[in-house]
Chains A and B, each alone.
Chain A
C-alpha cells in the first residue's frame, strides 16, 4: 500500500501548496486594498450613514436700553423632550398589545408618549398631535421631539420631581426671544424664520429652530446679535435612532447692542400718545446737545412676541390690513405736512431776510393772495413776530414770506437737510419732500400762492417727526443740526471678550445753521412765549419750574380717507439751558395745542422725574 513517492508527486504537492498560499496572498492583497488603500472612502461612507450633524443656533444677543434694561433678549423657555431611542421598546410593547385591527403606528406612538406625559400630572395640556409626531419620526428621528413647550416654573419643578416615573423624557432650557415692552417694537423690530439657508450651512442634517432679524435693529444688527452657530454630531443606528452625541463646535453667543434710548422715557412717550386716544401718533425725544435719541414712539404698535416661533396667519393678515397700520413706524417711516410748526423755519427765514421782528402786520382774519383767501385762526388785529408766532397767525407769516420770496425759506430749509433722510434707520425711513431752489425760482410754476402755502407748512412739503425733532433741537442748541444716533455701543455677552466690544462715536453734527444769533434768540423767545403765555397756542404743555419752548401745528390733509388734521407739537426745554427736544405728532387730532401739546407735557414730566429721582414730577 505504501510505496516510495516519486519526484513528480512531490512536485505536484508543492505546486498545490503554493496555489493555496497564493490564494491566501490574494485575500491579503484584497484586504489591503479595502482596508488600507480605500479605507478613507469606506470610513466616509460609514460616517455618512451613521453620523447626523445638527446645527445649534447661538443664543442671540440682547438689545438693551441706556440703563441696561432689556428691550429684546433670549430668556430660557422650558421644553420637555422625548428621546425616541429610549421609548422604542415601549412603542413596540404597546404595538403588540394594541388591538390589531385598529392600530396604526402613529397612533400607538402618540398614545405611548401621551400616557407618559399624563403620568407626570402637569397642569398643562399635551398638545402634540399625531401628525406632528409622525412628521418628526420621518424627518428628524435622531433628534428628541419637544412634546411640551413653555413650561411654567411650577411644572418644571414638578417634572424634576417626577421624571423618574417615565422613561426617555427630559426637560431642557431653550432660548426664547422675548420683548418685554411693546412700546419700542418698531425700533427694535422683530424676527422671522430664515427663508433660505446659506450654502455653507447646507451640509447639516438637522437645523434646530433659528431666527433672523426681519425688521428694525434686529435686522440692522443681525450679524452682531446672532453669534455663530455650533455643531452637534449624533451617532445613529441602522434605523436612525440616536445612540450617542457629541458637541463638535459649541455655539458662540451673539453680542449685545446697547442703545441711547431710555425705556422709561420710551414707555412714558408711548403712554402719552396713547392717551391722546387717537389711532395714529408718534413722539420723538432727543438730547439736543448730543443728538442721542432718548425715545422713538409710534402708535399703533404690533406685538413682536407673536412672531416667535411664527405668527398665526390670521393675526398677520390683521396686522397687514389694519388702518392705521401697526407695522409702519410713524416716527420715521411716514411723511406728514408739518403745518404751522414749519413757521419755525419760515419765521427764522423772514428774520434772516431782514424783516424787523417788532414791525406789525395787520390781520383781518384772513390773508389774501391774489384772489385766494387763507383763513387765519388768530383773531383779527396787529401782530409782530412774537405775537404772530404764539398765535400762529397765518397772515403774519404769509405776508412776510411774500415780502421776502420763497428763496430764503428754501435756503434755510436746506440747512436743516429737509430734502434728505436723517440716516438713523436703514430701512425704516421715508424720504422727505421739500422744494429745491430751482423749483421756486421758476416763476412760471411757482406762484405767490405756493410761497404762502410753504410759509405755513403746506403744499409740496412732507416731513417725518424725527426730522422735526432734529430741526427743533438745532434751534435749541444754537444751530447744530445732528445726524442723530440711537446705538451707543456693542457689548460682548461674555465680558472677557473685550476685543468684540465697540463704542460708537458721538452723533455727528451734520451742519451748522448759518443764522444770526439774535434772530435765533428771537425765535427761541417766541417759542417760549407760545407755551409760557396764557394766550399761547402751546400753553397746555406748560410745566412749573421747567420752561418748555414750543410750536403747535395743525395741518390739513385731504386724501382718499377724506379730510383730517395732522396735529403737531415741536418743542424743547428748558429754555435757559436746553436739554431735550420733544416732538409729538398725532394723526386726526383736534389741534396741535389740544392734542399734541398735552402729550408732550407728559413726556417732559417723565424726563424731569428721571433727572430728579427724589422729587415728584410737576410738583417741585
Chain B
C-alpha cells in the first residue's frame, strides 16, 4: 500500500482534467459503438476487432503510458526530449519510404503493425511540443537572439515539412498553433512574432493562389488533386469553372458537377447529421444519417465521429463535448499559470494548444467552418495512434501538475 502511495503524489492529481477525460472517454466508447454497430464490416468479427472494444483497449494503453510517464518528474523526462524528437523525426522519414510506410487513401502516413496501424505524425506532434518547451525554457533574454529563434522555428518546421510530404497538410498545420503560442508565452519579441504570423499569412495566401490559379503543367511541385478539391469544396467554388473551361460541353460540365457532388458529399452529410440532431438529438443509436449509411461508414467512427455524436445527442450533447474539452483546456491553463518554472508552463500550454487545434479543426470541418481534412478528434475518434498519443500528451500535462514547484 505504501509503495503505491509513494508512486506519485496522488493528492495533486488534477480532478478537472480527470473528470473531463472520463467524460470524453465515455462519449468515445458509446458513440464509436453507435457508429459501427450496424456496419457490415464488423458483423461476426471477433470482439477484439470491434472498434468500441479496441477503443477501450487503446484508452487503457494510453492511460497506462500516461501513468508510467507520471512516475518521473517532467524535469527529468524533458532531458530526453531531444531523443524523443530525433526518434520521431526518424520515424517520419521512415514512413515516407515505400515498403516501410503503408499507403491508405493515397497518402503514406502509417506503419502497418499487423494488428493495428501506427501513425508517427501523432507521436511527432507530442515530441515537438516537448522539445520546443525544453528549447524555449531557456532564459528569456536568449530568446531575443535571432539565431535562437530560427532554431526554434526549425525545431517545429522540420517535422512540419516531413508530415506535409506524406502528404498530410491538415496534420502538419496543427503544429502551427502550439509552436506560435509557445513562442509567444515563452516571451519571444513582439516584432518577431508579428513577422512570423505575417509570414504565415502571406505564405498561406501564396499557397492558395498557387493551388487555385497556377496551371497544372507549370507547377514545379504537384499537389495531390484532392487537396485542391477539398479547398474548392470549402470555398464553394463551382467545379465547372475549374475543371471545364469556357468552351466545355454540357457533358463535361455535368461531369464536373457530379465530381463536385461526390467530393462535397461527406461534408454535406456531416452538416445534415449535425444540424438534424437539433436541440436534443435523436437518441443513442437512433441516428439515421449514420445507421442508414448516409454518413460514409468508413469515416463515421473516426474523422466524423462528431457528426454521429451531434446527430444522436443534439446541441445538448455537442455542448457537453465542448465543455469537456474546455475543461481540459482550463485545467491546462491553470496548471501553466500555477507553475513557477518555464518548462512546466510551456509544456502545459503547448499540450492544450495542440489539443485545441485538433478539436477546432475536426469539429469545425463537421460544420463547414474549416476545410475537410483527415484529422481525428482527440479521444473520441476511433484510432489507436491518436488516442494513445493524446493521452500521452495529457499525461505530460498531469505530470507538470504533479511535480510543479508552486510558490
Query: CB within 8 Å of B: which residues of A?
Result: 1-5, 8-10, 12-17, 19-21, 23-24, 26-28, 30-36, 38-39, 41-43, 45-46, 49-50, 235-239, 243
Contact = CB atoms under 8 A, between A and B. Distances in A.
Given A24-B326, A35-B277, A13 B139 contact: no
Interface in B283-305: 288-289, 292-294
Contacts of B211: none
B367 A34 contact: yes
Contacts of A2: 340-343, 405
B277 to A, nearest CB: 6
Interface in B316-372: 318-319, 322, 325-326, 329-330, 333, 336-337, 340-343, 345, 349, 352-353, 356, 359-360, 363-364, 367, 369
B288 A16 contact: no
B349 A32 contact: no
A237 B293 contact: yes
A50 B288 contact: yes
Nearest to A239: B293
A32 B360 CA distance: 15
B276 A31 contact: no
Contacts of A5: 340, 342, 345
The B contact surface, by secondary structure, is: helix
Contacts of B201: none
A30 B364 contact: yes
Contact of A235 (B275, B288, B318): B288
21 contacts: A1-B341, A2-B343, A5-B340, A12-B185, A14-B333, A16-B184, A17-B349, A20-B329, A20-B333, A21-B329, A27-B363, A30-B364, A31-B363, A36-B278, A41-B275, A43-B278, A45-B272, A46-B288, A50-B288, A235-B288, A239-B293
Contacts of A24: 322, 325-326, 329, 356, 359-360
A238 B292 contact: yes
Contact of B276 (A4, A19, A45, A235): A45
Residue of A8, A21, A35 with highest tally of chain B CB at under 10 A? A35
* CB-based closest 8 A-B pairs: A42-B275, A17-B333, A2-B341, A237-B292, A238-B293, A35-B315, A46-B276, A39-B278
Contacts of B363: 27, 31
B288 A38 contact: no
B314 interface: yes
A41 B272 CA distance: 9
Contact of B271 (A23, A26, A34, A239): A34
A237 B341 CA distance: 57
Contacts of B288: 46, 50, 235
A49 B187 contact: no
B175 interface: no
A242 B305 CA distance: 25
B274 A31 contact: yes
A42 B294 CA distance: 13
B349 A49 contact: no
A3 B139 contact: yes
B187 A43 contact: no
B181 interface: yes
Contact of A46 (B279, B289, B330): B289
B187 A35 contact: no
B181 A16 contact: yes
B315 A36 contact: yes
A210 B90 CA distance: 71
A281 to B, nearest CB: 62
B137 interface: yes
Contacts of A43: 275-276, 278
B400 interface: no
Interface string B184-227: 11010000000000000000000000000000000000000000
Nearest to A37: B275
Contact of A27 (B294, B322, B340): B322
A495 to B, nearest CB: 42
B172 interface: no
A24 B139 CA distance: 32
A46 B293 contact: no
B333 A31 contact: no
Interface string B365-407: 0010100000000000000000000000000000000000100
Contacts of A31: 274, 310, 315, 318-319, 322, 363, 367
A141 to B, nearest CB: 14
Given A1-B341, A9-B185, A49-B272, 15 more contacts: A1-B342, A4-B340, A10-B337, A20-B352, A27-B322, A27-B364, A30-B364, A31-B274, A34-B271, A35-B275, A35-B310, A36-B315, A39-B276, A46-B276, A237-B293
Contacts of A50: 288, 292, 294
B112 to A, nearest CB: 26
B289 to A, nearest CB: 7
Contacts of B359: 24, 27
B386 to A, nearest CB: 19
A361 B2 CA distance: 147
A386 B228 CA distance: 107
Given A2-B342, A13-B336, A49 B294 contact: yes
Contact of A30 (B181, B273, B369): B369
Residue of B273, B275, B356, B359 with highest tally of chain A CB at under 10 A? B275
Contact of B322 (A10, A28, A34): A28
Nearest to B306: A31
Given A28-B319, A36-B279, A20 B356 contact: yes
Contacts of B294: 46, 49-50, 237-238
A475 B128 CA distance: 115
A238 B353 CA distance: 38
Interface in B48-99: none
Contacts of B333: 13-14, 17, 20
Contacts of B277: 35, 39
Given A13-B336, A20-B352, A42 B276 contact: yes
Contact of A12 (B184, B271, B318): B184
B275 A21 contact: no
B295 to A, nearest CB: 8
Contact of A42 (B139, B185, B271, B326): B271
Nearest to B288: A50
Given A1-B341, A21-B326, A9 B187 contact: yes
Contact of B330 (A21, A42, A45): A21
A28 B185 CA distance: 26
B369 A35 contact: no
Contacts of A238: 292-294
Contacts of B185: 9, 12-13, 16
Contacts of A243: 292
Contacts of B314: 35
Nearest to B341: A2
A50 B295 CA distance: 12
